[in-house]
Amino acid sequence: MRDALLLYETNVGARRRARKEADEEKFGLAVEALACNLILLSAIKSSPKLAVPRSHSFLWRGDGGTNPVYGQHFLSAIDGLASLGLIEEERRGYRLSARMREPSLIRPSAALNQHLPLAPPDWRSVKQIDDRALIILKEGKDEDGRAAAIAFSETAKTRQLAGEMRRINEFLRSADIEVSGDDTGLSLGKDGQVIAPYRRSLRRVFNNAEWKQGGRLAGGFWMGMERNERFERIRIDGESIADVDYRQLFPRLAYVRADKPQPEGDIYDVAGNGSGRDGWKTLMNAMLFSDGPLRNWPEGTLQHFPSGTKLRGATEMLAARHQPIAHLFGTGLGFELMRIESDMLIGIITHLASLGVTALPLHDAVLVAESKAHVAADAMQAAFSMWTGSSCAIVSVEFCKG
């Protein structure tokens, strides 16, 4: 397919001069990335379209700026494929405002079968290489909830962070991880990414242009799956999985930060009778992340409260219930707590890997083979004690109900 595009450019005089060696390598990488995605597209049951970025703000200054696939060579490859009739441009993307935008969509044409193994789709021959951007530093979110990646200078600390990710990815690459029921066709996760076991290369994302904020892991196929689907389909070392997670981690870390004793019982049971727990949980965490008082109910929260409940009344009740940490609400502390959470998870999965235990990180939890659940729980309890000096962590273990 690459040769066909190069011949096309020559025939139509699309380029006045030959590409430099480095640019030709990037062009080939872009073609290869598009080819692999188009092969996978034909293996997905719902036959979706492929969203491709065209915006200069993404390709040169956003997330794409750290990825050698993107740039003018990427746009040239798309335009060449369309001109040759190998893809169909379903829609050209646009941006009318921060909130009104649509991505460009493409799909393979019948002619592409002459260049790629689309029928039957050979998706198992597609492998994922490590993303060169193992750590990503992002700006604060804009009004549309998006945060662009920003360039940063390499230091001893960034090399250490990237090295941790590289070692974790090396371990996961050779781990025995499978997704059951995917022989007849792939499916998409809720994040719009393909659910396939080769997608296990992780990266770490830091927030608000601060290395001390965020740091959560991203990129794993399991992260886009629904909770029940993970239990039903993921197999590690041939076993069903267990979900081992911290309970009420952020508020417990907030109590540690305030140097106050942990409250007894369920921190999110603000009403004292279990009512509205999911709403109180979302509201409390939103107050830990907000920079200033909340002005609106967090999305999906109000429905958990009695009709007529006012936001101000709910936040005052929550602050009174957790008076020892009330001074931390509205300070934006949540991103610092997230950094602690992510550091703990890095340590946990690294320690488990040293024991030969495969652990798939998921925010404040890990997914492990059922037989390793209690090993993981002990590691998580130890990590909490080491990071906080407190033994008050609550670690729960959930097994497949099937």
Local confidence pLDDT in tens for the 402 residues of the chain: 888 888 877 877 777 677 888 888 889 999 999 998 998 888 887 888 999 988 876 776 555 556 788 888 999 999 999 999 999 988 887 665 555 567 889 999 999 989 888 887 777 777 777 667 899 999 887 666 678 888 899 999 999 999 999 999 999 999 999 998 766 678 889 888 889 898 999 999 999 999 999 999 999 999 999 999 999 999 999 999 999 999 999 999 999 999 999 888 899 999 989 899 999 999 999 999 999 999 999 999 999 999 999 999 999 999 999 999 999 999 999 999 999 999 999 999 999 999 999 999 999 999 999 999 999 999 999 999 998 888 777 889 999 876
Maximal C-alpha separation, the chain: 75
- 133-143 pLDDT, tens per residue? 899 999 887 66
- For residues 231 and 247, the answer to whether their CB atoms sit within 8 Å is no
- Write the DSSP symbol of residue 13: T
Task: List the beta bridge partners of residue 246.
Answer: 395
d(CA 126, CA 9): 27
d(CA 307, CA 385): 41
Structure tokens at 52: 């491709």
Name the helix (H) or strand (E) containing 189: none
Task: List the beta bridge partners of residue 88.
Answer: 107
Q: Which residues of 34-63 are buried (b: 16+ CB within 10 A; e: fewer)?
A: bbbbbbbbbbbeeeebbebbebeebbeebb
Provide the pairing of β-strand 87-91 with 104-108.
antiparallel
Q: Pseudo-torsion of CA 8, 9, 10, 16, nearest 10°?
A: 170
Beta strand spans in 68-134 (E):
87-91, 94-95, 101-102, 104-108
Provide the pLDDT for residue 143: 63
Provide the pLDDT for residue 12: 76
Task: List the beta bridge partners of residue 236.
Answer: 177, 239
Provide the pLDDT for residue 205: 95
Secondary structure (3-state) at 338: helix
Structure tokens at 361: 């990180």
Residue 104 Cα to chain centre, angstroms: 22
Provide the pLDDT for residue 98: 52
Query: For residue 233, which amino acid is it?
Result: R
Cβ within 8 Å of residue 154, ≥6 positions away:
none
Residue 172: left if φ>0, alpha if ψ -120 to 50, beta else—which one?
A: alpha
pTM here is 0.86
d(CA 121, CA 109): 14
What are residue 206's phi and psi, to 5 degrees?
Answer: -105, 150
Provide the pLDDT for residue 71: 87
